[in-house]
């Protein structure tokens, strides 16, 4: 079996039983990155529990994070500080994964992210944002070397801007 999703399943926009069956077989094969998927699930679980210790143990020292605006954070320690700041701003931040695909060390995860901005008015219900999101991870030695977020952060930015004007 080839270790790449694109040439395996024909037309990627066509949703039929054959394509879905092939994806399911690919995702359960030993070459599909099941250990890498476990690492991503553990990483997301650590994020959702706001566990710096677990996140630290799941990141490479040279971990790279890229946010949805394309900003890059380099290094595990710097990123742990970043998570502390983000959880202060969004204390109930949560990721929900719906689908995960593996291509060796490369993982693509799809789902949603949500949280309430802790602005001047605190955790007001109107400061809650939920958005579809995707994540790209590169796994190295059972740790996350690269974590990139893809999401439309427009509503979140509007909330932050509104809260800073009050």
Can you tell me the mean pLDDT for 5-18?
A: 43
Architecture of domain 11-165: Roll (3.10)
C-alpha–C-alpha distance, residues 20 and 52, integer Å: 37
For residue 117, give the DSSP letter. Answer: -
Residue 42 has pLDDT above 70, yes or no: yes
| Secondary structure (DSSP) of 119-165 | BTTBS-GGGEEEEEEEEEEEEETTEEEEEEEEE--HHHHHHHHHHHH
Q: Where are the domains of the chain?
A: 11-165
> Is the pLDDT higher at 134 or at 25?
134
C-alpha–C-alpha distance, residues 132 and 140, integer Å: 27
pLDDT of residue 33: 57
User: 124 is written with which tokens?
Assistant: 């007001």
Residue 5 has pLDDT above 80, yes or no: no
pTM for the whole structure: 0.79
C-alpha–C-alpha distance, residues 39 and 11, integer Å: 29
Order of strands, sheet of 106-116, starting from the edge strand that comes earlier in the sequence: 72-74, 59-66, 143-151, 128-140, 106-116, 94-103
């Amino acid at each position: 079996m080839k270790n790449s999703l694109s040439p395996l399943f024909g037309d990627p926009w066509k949703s039929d039983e054959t394509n879905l069956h092939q994806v399911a077989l690919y995702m359960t094969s030993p070459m599909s990155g099941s250990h890498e998927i476990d690492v991503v699930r553990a990483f997301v679980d650590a994020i959702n529990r706001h566990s710096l210790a677990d996140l630290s143990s799941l990141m490479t020292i040279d971990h790279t994070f890229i946010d949805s605006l394309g900003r890059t954070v380099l290094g595990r320690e710097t990123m742990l500080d970043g998570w502390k700041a983000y959880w202060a701003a969004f204390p109930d931040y949560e990721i929900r994964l719906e689908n995960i695909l593996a291509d060796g060390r490369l993982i693509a995860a799809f789902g949603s992210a949500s949280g309430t901005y802790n602005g001047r008015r605190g955790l007001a219900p109107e400061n809650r944002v939920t958005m579809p999101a995707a994540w790209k991870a590169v796994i190295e030695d059972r740790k996350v070397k690269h974590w990139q977020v893809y999401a439309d952060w427009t509503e979140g930015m509007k909330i932050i801007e509104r809260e800073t004007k009050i």
